[in-house]
Amino acid sequence: MFTKLLIANRGEIACRVIRTARRLGIATVAVYSDADRHALHVQLADEAVHVGPAPARESYLVIANIIEAARRSGAQAIHPGYGFLSENADFARACAEAGVVFVGPPPAAIEAMGSKSAAKAIMERAGVPLVPGYHGDDQKPARLKASADEMGYPVLLKATAGGGGKGMRQVWSAADFDDALAAAQREASASFGDERMLVEKYLTRPRHVEVQVFCDSHGEGVYLAERDCSLQRRHQKVIEEAPAPGMSAELRAAMGETAVQAARAIDYVGAGTVEFLLDEDGSFYFMEMNTRLQVEHPVTEMITGQDLVEWQLRVAAGEPLPLKQDAITLHGHAFEARIYAEDPDNDFLPATGTLAHLRPPEESSHVRVDTGVREGDEISVYYDPMIAKLVVWDEDRGRALQRLARALVDYRIGGTVTNLDFLYNLVTTKPFRNAELDTGFIERHRELIFREQDIDLARDLPAAALALLLQRQQTARGSRQPGDPWSPWDSASAWRLNEPHRHRLRLHCHQQDFEAVVEARGKDHYVVSARVSAATTDDERAEQRQGATDGVDVVASEALQARLSGETLTLDRDGHRQRATLARTQDGHTLYFAEGACHFREWQPDTGEGGHDASAGGLLAPMNGTIVALVADVGAPVTAGSPLLIMEAMKMEHTLRAPADGSVEQFFFQAGDLVSGGAELLQFTPAGEENRESAHA
């Protein structure tokens, strides 16, 4: 076994590999870009080497820089993680030429599976069942379209060098084919430098089931059960589980043996994942083989009790597989939920931001959190916006699912939009509980998953008002000057001679403005009244404050006890005690209850100094990114919803569309330009308007 290992990756991936290496007594070397100088994986490693600027193509993807980092540090082996260079045959060869062990399969195996079309040809010769499709070398658009027409719609376009959902499009009719092909080729070229496509028949209700295989250099190969990865958005997985629900022992053995057969067909060594489409009738088809460890490997670890990174290291060191096939046993059920900084309500648009508040659930034998970030870290535009992988295990699927739902409630993140509510809604739907799984699950059950969160103003408003007030008092006590502790002038309790101790607060909560009155009645005892604020000027608000508080616009009024200790707010309502966690974020505060979160901020009066008019201005970049293409002609009329510009950010393409009928008067950037979030991208003139006006994306 080697004594020093370099991890050619970042974030959660690097942290995961470091954890196993440290347990085995192997020293670790991290690599980092400018953006990751203070990242968690850099802190955890024994050494760290700088490899370039923030963009991955100038740092983590530069083979020469990684090899030089291994040489400088004296690392004997390189673990590529999953992603980046993990499936790059040239990198594997460069490691061998430098005398460094590549923790992965031989270059020839990577190349064999690196092209989806070539892989399918190999699998066909090996007798592995394939989905009907075209995998040929003729890449003329007319030939690809003719293949789709022959097999019938819907079809799936896939980049031959693809992965992670990049360069992939569903096509439902011949009329949509040309546009879908152009978009898929453009995305494939940007992601892989290769725009070649294959066309497959699209199965309407398949499950995505993958098998974990392992082979050593002594000719042995095994499979470690399977994972169901059917729940996907943008062709990327969001929930995975193992074992796959409803699998008979016979079907598991058939898929597992087929997966090992596929690996042996290319003389595979190391960890690999063979992905299948499982149809409703029980038939399964080879889809692709990933020549690396998968993001979702922890669910397999949880049900087998094996550390798959340790297996990788031992196999790379020339050792035989730790277990034979008949010694691999399964126990219990596991789920993995991928927690992202993204907006599910806006087509899962990736988000940036600072993790101002980060409290994962407590880890145990049932709960595991794989992450590469800490509180205060920034979600960068340069990399995938994953925050963590939440993994749970229990004796059976029902119990594991219950643990997953609870862990999602306990996971608290402030400072950026996340998919936590989306994940909770998804895993608590009846169809998911019943394991009615297929790759179209999310779209099919949108109404159940994207349901509105129940709003409890009677709970939230008093809690928000008291949290804000008690935090103010807590801050004041911490900053007051030494003096007479009994002086009323040194008190933050709103003391007034012969008057109630009353505070007036203005809150913005649940998309509305409220005015709250908090009256202190002894230690820890308060009466809170809150009313909707319809006033728009200071004079109107003054009149409103003088009015009665028992009108029809009062939405909360109750007496309760409250204490704030650190971040924990304790509320006692007539003997019913509840706790919430208070977090400060960049734009306000969040109270985390067991039933959900309440976001609020102190409402400031309108001074008339508004910023950019929401109904005017330029069409803005939703985040930092790169302009991919300008798809509208300057001066040419366009209709509302027509694509104007395509930009790439956080490994995804985003199309900005016309907000109304009109025309583009001027583009401010060209293809290839880097743009900052909020930058004005173009000047748009609505139809029929002489004066230039703009609209937001």
The topology (CATH level 3) of 135-201 is Dna Ligase; domain 1 (3.30.1490)
Q: Does 566 have pLDDT greater than 70? A: yes
Give domain 4-103's CATH architecture. 3-Layer(aba) Sandwich (3.40)
Residues noted as catalytic: 292
Q: Which of 24-33, 195-204, 507-516 has the highest mean pLDDT?
A: 24-33
Cα–Cα distance, 60 to 82 (Å, whole number)? 12
Cα–Cα distance, 454 to 678 (Å, whole number)? 32
Tens-digit pLDDT profile for residues 290-322: 999 999 999 999 999 999 999 999 999 999 999
**Residue pair 102/256 in contact by the 8 Å Cβ criterion:** no
**What confidence category does residue 210 fall into, taking pLDDT thresholds of 50, 70 and 90?**
very high
Cα–Cα distance, 468 to 496 (Å, whole number)? 20
Q: Does 584 have pLDDT greater than 90? A: no
Cα–Cα distance, 396 to 440 (Å, whole number)? 25
Q: What percent of the chain has pLDDT over 90?
A: 53
Q: Does 616 have pLDDT greater than 60? A: no
Task: Please state whether the peptide bond connecting residue 245 to the residue before it is cis, i.e. omega within 30 degrees of 0.
Answer: no
Average pLDDT over the chain, rounded to whole?
A: 86
Looking only at Cα atoms, what is the longest distance across the chain?
Answer: 93
Q: Does 248 have pLDDT greater than 90? A: yes
Tens-digit pLDDT profile for residues 77-108: 999 998 899 999 999 999 999 999 999 999 99
Helix (H) or strand (E) holding 632: none
232-263 exposure pattern, b = at least 16 Cβ within 10 A, e = fewer: bbebbbbbbbbbbeebeeebbeebbebbbbbb
Helix (H) or strand (E) holding 371: strand 367-371
**What confidence category does residue 58 fall into, taking pLDDT thresholds of 50, 70 and 90?**
very high
In the prediction, which pLDDT does 47 show? 97
In the prediction, which pLDDT does 469 show? 87
- DSSP codes joined into one string, 85-106: TTT-HHHHHHHHHTT-EESS--
456-480 exposure pattern, b = at least 16 Cβ within 10 A, e = fewer: ebebbbbbbbbbbbbbebeeeeeee
Alpha helical stretches, state H, 274-419 = 297-304, 308-316, 397-410
In the prediction, which pLDDT does 605 show? 53
Task: Give CATH 2.40.50.100 domain extents, the chain.
Answer: 619-686
Tens-digit pLDDT profile for residues 354-408: 898 999 999 999 999 999 999 999 998 888 899 999 999 999 999 999 999 999 9
Task: Please state whether the peptide bond connecting residue 55 to the residue before it is cis, i.e. omega within 30 degrees of 0.
Answer: no
**What confidence category does residue 188 fall into, taking pLDDT thresholds of 50, 70 and 90?**
confident
Task: Give CATH 3.30.700 domain extents, the chain.
Answer: 457-476+494-602
Give domain 619-686's CATH architecture. Beta Barrel (2.40)
Task: Give CATH 3.40.50.20 domain extents, the chain.
Answer: 4-103
pTM given for the model: 0.77
For the structural domain made of 207-449, what CATH number should be given? 3.30.470.20
Tens-digit pLDDT profile for residues 473-511: 877 665 555 555 555 555 555 555 555 567 888 888 888
The topology (CATH level 3) of 457-476+494-602 is Glycoprotein, Type 4 Pilin (3.30.700)
First-residue to last-residue Cα distance in the chain: 55
For the four alpha carbons of 253, 254, 259 and 261, in that order, the dihedral sign comes to positive
